[in-house]
Structure 1
Amino acid sequence: MMKRRNFLKWSSMMGALASLPGVPLAAGTITTPPPPAGDRAYWVSLMYRMASPILKNMSKGELKKNFPVEYSPSWDNRDNNVAYLEALGRLTAGITPWLALPDDATKEGAMRKELREQLLQSLRHSVDPASPDYLLWRTGGQPLVDAAFLVHGFLRAPQAIWEPLDSQTKERFVTELKSMRRMKTFSNNWVLFVAMVETFLYSIGEDHLMDRIDDAIAKTDSWYKGDGMYGDGPAFHYDYYNGYVIQPMYLDVLKVLAAKDTAKQQQYAIALKRMQRYGAILERQISPEGTYPIVGRSSTYRAGAFQPLAQLALNRELPAEITPAQVRCALTAVMKRQFEFKGTFSREGFLSLGVVGHQPEVADSYSNSGSMYLASLALLPLGLPATDPFWSAPYADWSMKRAWSGGDIVRDHAIRE
């Protein structure tokens, strides 16, 4: 009897621990996989949790008033106002595929419609000089970065986000984007920010500087190191900038050009193959517990590191050895480890500095609360309808979860392209 009571006692304690954010189960503990519909509901709730405090305030012209921005303890003293464009630009890049889905009568549909309307109004405020939330477009270099993220969002969902804007707002955006030409070329990932801005102008029929786009393409291709990895400039950096910036922006610049220029189609095909390899590597970085190696700068962008994997899933271009379900389940595990950990969101509901919870000391000198919204890029597959196999397929273990439980795992290999 005593043994049975002890067993029940410890079983109930394990169940309690499992329910606490950030507390892993003991090795070998069996858990019941969640139903697929539960994963999508969780992702939707997470996107809403991220986006609502930003868009609800900015749609009323009150973001600067109500967003208590936290800056890195080693802040480099650039203009503090960069934070607001960072938040809007990065969030736009992540949320627009979901906002582009058609309206419906579901709870998710109501949330999506609300945020879409708020984003459109926020975009109007962002370029209106008379608005309290007119953003920092023309001071320093940082605005180029987040203008590029913002137009990446436009490119991902032009019919839902760009086309509904009134003509005056569009004209204002074009003016602000062209002001980025005050900056010259770069020898690192920033060349892609230049290219994204000019590529967007090209996509809407505005005058553009093709030489700046070609410069970025040539440099990025020359920095390829092999096996799906690019350098950030001539040197290789062991960090997640292939995920945060390089691969998604490089591929999407080529994608826009390839639609009208057949000469770019082969470059696009090669870049896609490389990103598929990098996506496979990223998937293998996710441990059985839903953790991954924290290495390199900008680690506070959290799950945004997995943007290439998320983008491949969104575009139904995952490598053959990876199923959509295992990506869904792996990313869900990562998100729950990070975003359910105490301190990840501030008391006011904004993302905080940190990788797991609130860890300001790990933030780089250029990081602030607005920077953290790059994490929304992990949620790109929300742009797939709920009926897509990504969402509807049954639970599936990801590579490392299978491997470390003694299951079958696909042999890994490098690519030569």
Structure 2
Amino acid sequence: MAQKQKTKGKTPESSMPTGIQDRAYWSDLLYKMASPVILNLANGTLKKNMPVEKAPGYGLNAEKVTYLEAVGRTMAGVAPWLALPDDDTKEGRQRKELKDALLKGIVNAVNPSNPDYLNFRTEAQPIVDAAYVAQAFLRAPKALWEPLDSVTKKRVVEEFKSLRTRTGAYNNWLLFAGISEVFLWSIGEQPDPVRIEFARRKIIEWYQGDGWYSDGPSFSMDYYNSYVIHPMLVDFFKVLLDKKRIRTEDYETAVKRMVRYSEFSERIIAPDGSYPAFGRSITYRTAAFQALAQTALMEKLPAYIAPGQVRGALTAVMHRMYDNCNNFDNNGWLVLGFCGHQPEIADTYTSTGSLYMATLGFLPLGLAADNKFWTDPATDWTSKKAWSSQPFKKDYHVDY
């Protein structure tokens, strides 16, 4: 009897989309999401054309922060994808268009005479979004940093150094300051060692165990371990490792903790692709799976979690989130909400630009189309196995 249930519950492989179909869906969706930001920035029309919707009770100066939010977050999400070589497929043409446009856009973003000159120099919020720009450069240096002209590079450095006049919250914001400094270090500039060391020490002190960091001195049950902490800490530590400022085992521990957290991420994806809407910043949508996406991108998934399993789970999330919820306005911009337009659930620091964190869930597009993440057959993920009477791996606690 149990064997019949198992056979009945398992999704037939013949009914699952192929990796080619999944990749086409992902790339079309990321192109749809990112192109309004990137193409407008390239044309100097981002501030002119991007709507600025704000959460009820919004507490920042949106006109001074929302555009850099949109650009930095989008850059960090598309960077691995744009780092792939050019090719003449539909996806390859999409990538090349966005890469060429983004390089033009970066020039505009740091040119004081351009209408889309972005604000790094006032307000605290740019500390956050400069960090995502830095993360994008670290994720795709050959595609996004090296091709820039010398004047633009000099201007980027000046904008980053201007951030040192301000400080932010005593939580994940320490990582934002730290990764901006190690980016500067990676391109041969003198970093602020205090900001680097403070971020390194405090984030590690805030580790709670079993793959979870607290976001500051107290623990918050939300998705910030994925939105920020694990992916940015791993990228931050990679530069420190390259500079011989941390031990190999320190970096490897950070990676192992991200992998452990990613196991939870894979397990919370329900059989229908939904996931719990809890904690702060749920308007960041698919950024909730950045840590799982980065673990897949780095090819560090645990042996029992097949790449096709993660692809199937994340694709189900995307279909559930973007096919069944009206998350774009008539001009293709993201709207405030989780599933559709729900401005009442946006946080008081959230405006239109903030929403482009959603691109961070697409990092596996940085894997080539012939990588096993895309070529392996899609398989059922953990919750789908569990709720269809299939065998699945029981969970456990880890001590690192």
Question: TM-score normalized by structure 2?
Answer: 0.95
What does residue 183 of structure 1 align with?
A: 166
- The answer as to whether partners of 2:10 and 2:385 remain within 8 angstroms in 1 is no
Letter in 2 for 1:65: K
Change (3 A) 1:141 1:257: same
Indicate conservation of the 8 Å contact 2:307/2:373, yes or no: yes
For 1:248 and 1:342, the matched residues in 2 are separated by: 27
Is the CA contact (8 Å cut-off) linking 2:207 and 2:213 kept in structure 1? yes
Structure 1 contact 185–212 (Cα < 8 Å) conserved: no
- Structure 1, residues 23-45: CA drift from partner, whole Å, max 9, x if none? xxxx9998921121110000000
1:29–1:258: structure 2 CA closer, same or farther, 3 Å change rule? Answer: closer
Partner SS for 1:81: helix
**Aligned 1:263-302 pairs, distance under 5 A:** 263-302=246-285
Matched, 1:211 2:183: no
Aligned amino acid, residue 165 of structure 1: L
Q: 1:372 aligns with which of 338, 344, 355?
A: 355
Residue equivalent to 2:313:
330
Q: Residue type matched to 1:312 in 2?
A: T
Are residues 202 and 262 of structure 1, via their aligned partners in 2, closer, same or farther at CA, if it must alter by over 3 Å?
Answer: closer
Output the CA distance in 2 between the equivalents of 1:74 and 1:237: 22
Gaps of 5+ in 2: 1-8
State whether residues 125 and 133 of structure 1, in contact with CA within 8 Å, keep that contact through their aligned partners in structure 2: yes
Whole-angstrom distance in 2 between the partners of 1:138 and 1:263: 31
Which residue does 1:140 correspond to in 2?
123
Deviation at 1:107, TM superposition (A): 1.1
* Counterpart for residue 3 of structure 2: none
What is the identity, as a one-letter code, of the residue corresponding to 1:197?
A: S
Instruction: List alignment gaps of at least 5 residues for structure 1.
Output: 1-26
Name the counterpart of 1:229: 212
Quote the residue 2:342 is aligned against: 359
Task: Report Cα offsets for 1:202-223 as digits up to 9, x if no partner.
Answer: 1111010122111101000000
Checking the alignment, whether the CA contact within 8 Å between 2:10 and 2:390 is kept in structure 1 is no
The residue number in structure 2 matching 1:350 is 333
Determine the structure 2 residue equivalent to 1:70: 53
Counterpart-to-counterpart distance in 2, 1:172 and 1:304: 29
Q: Which residue of 2 aligns with 1:201?
A: 184
Give, in angstroms, the shift of residue 264 of structure 1. 2.7
Give the match's secondary structure for 1:225.
Answer: strand
Tell me if structure 1 keeps the 8 A contact 2:283–2:346.
yes
1:9-408 maps to which residues of 2 (within 5 A)?
Answer: 32-184=15-167, 186-261=169-244, 263-408=246-391
1:78 Cα deviation after fit: 2.4
Instruction: Give the superposition deviation at 1:343.
Output: 2.3
* Code of the aligned partner of 1:393: D
Once the 2 structures are TM-superposed, how far is the Cα of residue 74 of structure 1 from its aligned partner?
2.0
* Matched AA of 2:87: D
**Secondary structure of 1:71 counterpart:** coil
- Superimposed CA distance per residue, residues 340-361 of structure 1 (whole angstroms, 9 cap, x where no aligned partner): 2342001110011111111111
What whole-Å deviation, never above 9, does each CA across 1:279-314 have from its counterpart, x for those lacking one?
A: 001100100010111110100000101101000111
Distance 2:273 2:68 in 1: 31
Question: Cα–Cα, structure 1 residues 73 and 234, in superposed 2: closer, same or farther, change >3 Å?
Answer: same
Between structure 1 and structure 2, the one with the greater Rg is: 1
- State percent identity of aligned pairs: 51
Give the secondary-structure state (helix, strand or coil) at the position aligned to 1:59: helix
Structure 1 residue 80 displacement after superposition = 2.5
More displaced 10-residue stretch of structure 1: 90-99 or 71-80: 71-80
Q: How many Å separate the matches in 2 of 1:29 and 1:403?
A: 12
Q: Contact 2:237/2:246 (CA < 8 Å) preserved in 1?
A: no
Of 79-88 and 268-277, more deviation after overlay is shown by 79-88
Paired with 1:302 and 1:180, the residues of 2 have a C-alpha distance of 28
Which residue identity lines up with residue 79 of structure 2 in the other structure? T
Tell me the SS of whatever aligns to 2:126: helix
**Partners of 1:391 and 1:280 in 2: CA distance:** 20
Counterpart contact for 2:240–2:246, Cα < 8 Å: no
1:187 shift after superposition: 2.1
**Residues 360 and 185 from structure 1, CA distance in 2 versus in 1: closer, same or farther, beyond 3 angstroms?**
closer
TM-score scaled by length of structure 1: 0.91
Change (3 A) 1:29 1:325: closer
Higher RCO, 1 vs 2 (CA within 8 Å, ≥6 residues apart): 2
> Is the contact between residue 336 and residue 351 of structure 2 (CA under 8 Å) also seen in structure 1?
yes
Whole-angstrom CA distance in 2 between matches of 1:213 and 1:185: 14
How many residue pairs get matched? 391
Matched-pair contact (CA < 8 Å) for 1:254–1:264: no
CA distance in 2, matches of 1:341, 1:360: 18
Letter matched to residue 48 of structure 1:
Y
